[in-house]
């Protein structure tokens, strides 16, 4: 098949690409599969950098899995995905031998050849890749993404897109004016139930929004980032490439399995709740409302339950102000109690939307929009007049105003309007690989990912410095 974008001649496309890349300081060449000398090569060559749990999930979403491997066990109730046409994983990279083996066998057990690497830089130098999928610890997201862009690759990078605001600004500057494609791992963009909520807000169903409340509460060891591998001294030390894990970015400290496997608990490698969890909520809220970057942020919390030497909090609250839109946002996360789960509540002058795996819309008892229905009793303020949920591929619709759509199934699955249950990560990949070919911008490009990225980092700064922080949008600086 031809990989040439529609409505663009081959020569004009290549010229436009080269011009844009040169202006951005990126390599003066198109992705390898689109280069003049490689027009016969339609296959997109992909490297996966980071083949731990999340990296394995990405490979599963791309149709690469070992029938006897751990990801198949985790996804036992799901139907395996087909591989994308002419998108091939040709190399995997990880700093733990076991993860690397799992990633390698996910490819080879599908009958394909694959190279393996400890050092992502060597992979980028050796493999003539067209794109990379980055699922490393957070401190390596931006350095690997920058190196991949320099190597001429398109990039799918997990959230949080970067580990600091300066890193985010540098990455955005790198991409500005270029034709390079970047997708951040905010797969809420593909959740159908959030799509319905977005339409409801845009249609004015709850009136002008003034308050957003969002939660990410969870319990248990895995919810608090305590994994079996870090217990009892961890796996054999010789199987861990610690220096490659530090990446020349994190401070040089002695190997510690708690740091290696529980990296989200330490500031050297992560921003903990704010980057790993809050960024998802923030991106979802921005997708629903378009609020952008907050003008001021204040955070609080601490390590109140998991007294295991962690540095990042296990209990965290954040308040954000958007005065230009007359909106306040509150966020709460606790890693020792799962009440409220991951619900997001959007409160407007006429009603409230609650969204997680369900969409519920309530009329406010003082609403002018619904005053007549409230007076007649056809709408009750304590009962959602729209209630759309997903139950085993079915739908419960509890009110006449509800549209006949299917809602979401938690954070990873969504039921599409045609009734098909889909993995949101798979859908996010479909969007990315389509854009790699078309050279159009994906759903979670750097521009759309920046508000959640900067907002999450403002929350981290406020927490760590113990003060209210502001954002100067004109200067792109923390104040």
The model's pLDDT over 44-75, given as tens digits with 9 standing for 90+, comes to 999 999 999 999 999 999 999 999 888 888 88
- Looking at the structure of the chain, the number of domains it has is 2
Specify the pLDDT at position 175. Answer: 97
Inform me whether the pLDDT recorded for 1 exceeds 60.
no
The answer to whether residue 452 is domain-embedded is no
Domain of 309 in residue numbering reads as 190-224+269-429+457-464
- H or E, element range at 192: helix 192-202
> Which range (34-48, 108-122, 385-399, 428-442) has the least confidence?
385-399
Same domain, 205 and 112: no
Distance CA 159, CA 163 (A): 9
Specify the pLDDT at position 397. Answer: 33
Specify the pLDDT at position 431. Answer: 98
Distance CA 120, CA 125 (A): 9
The answer to whether residue 357 is domain-embedded is yes
The answer to whether residue 136 is domain-embedded is yes
Which residue among 163, 188, 213 closes a domain?
188
Neighbours of 88 (CB within 10 A): 18
> Is there a cis peptide before residue 160, judged by omega within 30 degrees of 0?
yes
DSSP character string of 378-402:
SS-TTS-SEEEEEETTEEEE-STTS
Same domain, 178 and 198: no
Inform me whether the pLDDT recorded for 38 exceeds 80.
no
The answer to whether residue 148 is domain-embedded is yes
Specify the pLDDT at position 77. Answer: 75
Evaluate whether 48 touches 429 at the Cβ level (below 8 Å): no
The radius of gyration of the chain from alpha carbons, rounded to an integer in Å, stands at 23
How big is the CA angle at 473 (ends 319 and 461), to the nearest 5 degrees?
A: 45
Sequence-separated (6 or more) residues with CB below 8 Å from residue 114: 89, 90, 91, 92, 104, 107, 108
Specify the pLDDT at position 159. Answer: 97
Specify the pLDDT at position 390. Answer: 59
Same domain, 295 and 320: yes
Evaluate whether 312 touches 266 at the Cβ level (below 8 Å): yes
- Predicted TM-score of the model (pTM): 0.89
Find, among 34, 3, 9, the residue nearest to 21 by Cα: 34
Inform me whether the pLDDT recorded for 23 exceeds 90.
no
Q: Summarize the confidence of residues 196-208 as an average pLDDT.
A: 97
Inform me whether the pLDDT recorded for 212 exceeds 90.
yes
Same domain, 276 and 148: no
Same domain, 126 and 212: no
Inform me whether the pLDDT recorded for 27 exceeds 70.
no
The answer to whether residue 257 is domain-embedded is no
Evaluate whether 159 touches 186 at the Cβ level (below 8 Å): yes
Average pLDDT, the chain: 89
Specify the pLDDT at position 421. Answer: 81
User: What is the distance between the terminal CA atoms of the chain, rounded to a whole angstrom?
Assistant: 52
CATH number at residue 283: 3.30.360.10
The answer to whether residue 258 is domain-embedded is no
Q: Summarize the confidence of residues 245-265 as an average pLDDT.
A: 97
Which residue among 161, 188, 215 closes a domain?
188
Evaluate whether 113 touches 90 at the Cβ level (below 8 Å): yes
Specify the pLDDT at position 15. Answer: 40
Residue 32 — pLDDT band, cuts 50, 70, 90? low
CATH number at residue 70: 3.40.50.720
Same domain, 147 and 123: yes
Q: Summarize the confidence of residues 381-388 as an average pLDDT.
A: 96
The answer to whether residue 446 is domain-embedded is no
The answer to whether residue 421 is domain-embedded is yes
* Structure confidence by residue, pLDDT tens digits, 241-254: 999 999 999 999 99
Distance CA 69, CA 208 (A): 49
Same domain, 213 and 148: no
Neighbours of 332 (CB within 10 A): 17
Residue 19 — pLDDT band, cuts 50, 70, 90? very low
């Amino acid at each position: 098949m031809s990989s040439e974008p529609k409505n663009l001649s081959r020569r004009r496309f290549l010229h436009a690409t080269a011009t844009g890349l040169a202006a951005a300081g990126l390599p003066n060449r198109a992705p390898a599969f689109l280069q003049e000398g490689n027009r016969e090569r339609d296959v997109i060559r992909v490297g996966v950098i980071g083949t731990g749990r999340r990296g394995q999930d990405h490979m599963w979403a791309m149709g690469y899995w070992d029938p006897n491997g751990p990801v198949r066990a985790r996804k036992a109730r799901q139907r395996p995905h087909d591989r994308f046409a002419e998108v091939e994983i040709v190399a995997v990279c990880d700093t733990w031998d076991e993860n690397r083996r799992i990633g390698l066998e996910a490819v080879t057990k599908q009958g394909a050849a694959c190279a393996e690497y400890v050092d992502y830089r060597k992979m980028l130098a050796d493999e003539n890749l067209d794109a990379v999928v980055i699922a490393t610890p957070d401190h390596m997201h931006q350095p690997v993404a920058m190196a991949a862009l320099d190597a001429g690759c398109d990039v799918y990078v997990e959230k949080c897109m970067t580990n600091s605001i300066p890193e985010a600004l540098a990455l955005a500057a790198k991409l500005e004016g270029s034709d390079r494609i970047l997708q951040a791992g905010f797969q809420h963009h593909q959740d159908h139930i959030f799509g319905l909520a977005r339409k409801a807000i845009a249609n004015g169903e709850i009136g002008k929004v003034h308050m957003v409340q969002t939660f990410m509460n969870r319990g248990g060891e895995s919810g608090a980032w305590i994994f079996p591998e870090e217990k009892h001294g961890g796996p054999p030390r010789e199987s861990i490439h610690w220096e490659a894990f530090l990446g020349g970015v994190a401070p040089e400290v002695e190997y510690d399995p708690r740091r290696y496997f529980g990296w989200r608990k330490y500031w050297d490698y992560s921003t903990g709740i704010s980057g790993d969890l809050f960024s998802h909520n923030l991106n979802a809220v921005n997708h629903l409302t378009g609020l952008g970057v907050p003008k001021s942020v204040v955070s609080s919390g601490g390590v109140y339950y998991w007294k295991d030497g962690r540095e990042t909090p296990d209990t965290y609250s954040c308040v954000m102000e958007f005065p230009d839109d007359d909106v306040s946002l509150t966020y709460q996360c606790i890693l020792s109690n799962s009440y409220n789960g991951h619900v997001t509540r959007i409160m407007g002058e006429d009603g409230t939307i609650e969204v997680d795996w369900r969409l519920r819309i309530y009329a406010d008892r003082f609403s002018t929009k619904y005053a007549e229905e409230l007076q007649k009793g056809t709408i009750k303020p304590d009962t959602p007049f729209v209630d759309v949920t997903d139950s085993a591929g079915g739908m419960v619709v509890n009110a006449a105003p509800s549209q006949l759509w299917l809602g979401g199934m938690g954070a990873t699955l969504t039921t599409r309007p045609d009734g098909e249950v889909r993995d949101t990560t798979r859908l996010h990949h479909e969007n990315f690989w389509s854009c790699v070919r078309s050279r159009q911008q994906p759903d979670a490009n750097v521009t759309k990912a920046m508000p959640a990225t900067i907002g999450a980092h403002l929350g981290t700064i406020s927490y760590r410095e113990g003060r209210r922080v502001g954002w100067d949008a004109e200067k792109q600086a923390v104040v």
